[in-house]
Amino acid sequence: MLGLFFGANAQAAELQVGDAAPAFSLPDQAGKLHSLADYRGKWLVLYFYPKDETPGCTTEACQFRDDIATIQGLGVTVVGISEDSIASHERFAKKYHLPYTLLADDDGKVAADYDSLFSIFGLMKFAKRHTFIIDPQGRLAAIYTDVDPKDHSKQIIAALEKLLH
C-alpha cells in the first residue's frame, strides 16, 4: 500500500550481488558524459545521494573526499549521482573540494534503474542514499541500502579491502 503513495515499483526486480550493473550515460559537473562502460576493467564505487548541499549528503561527500587517497590507492574510482543539475554539482564539488566525479541524473532514470529512486506521489523525486561496488566485469559486488553518511566511506574501504584480497 505504501508503494502507491511513495512511488515504489512493485514490478521491478530488486538488484542482487552478482547482477550486471545497469548501464548509464550521464554528464558530470563539467558537462562531460560518463558511462558504465568507461569504468570497465576497474573497480567502481557508485553512490547515490538525495541532494547537494544538504547536511547528510555533504557529510557523506566530504567523508569520501577525506578518504579518497585510500580508496584510489586500492585502485578504485568513486562516482556520486543525484538528480541535481550539472551547475549544482559544479558548485557543490568546488565548495567542498570534491576530487571525484558527480553525475547529474536529471530525470532520475539511472536512480530508478538502480532501485534507488524515491518518489512522493510522482511529484517530488530524489535518489535514495544507496551505494554499489561494481567489479571490473561490470557486476555488482556489494550493495548498501542502509547508509550512515558519517562512516560510510570507512565501511566501503573495509568492504573493498575484503573484495580485493
Provide the annotated active-site residues.
Answer: 57
What's the distance, CA 78 to chain centroid?
A: 8
Q: Helix, strand, or coil here: 121? A: coil
- Alpha-carbon distance of 68 to 79, in angstroms, equals 11
Cell of 15: 538488484
Query: Residue 109 phi/psi, 5° resolution?
Result: -65, -45
Angstrom distances, CA of residue 37 to CA of 20, 58, 95, 164: 12, 28, 29, 21
Nearest Cα neighbor of 82 from 65, 104, 101, 67 is 104
- Alpha-carbon distance of 56 to 159, in angstroms, equals 21
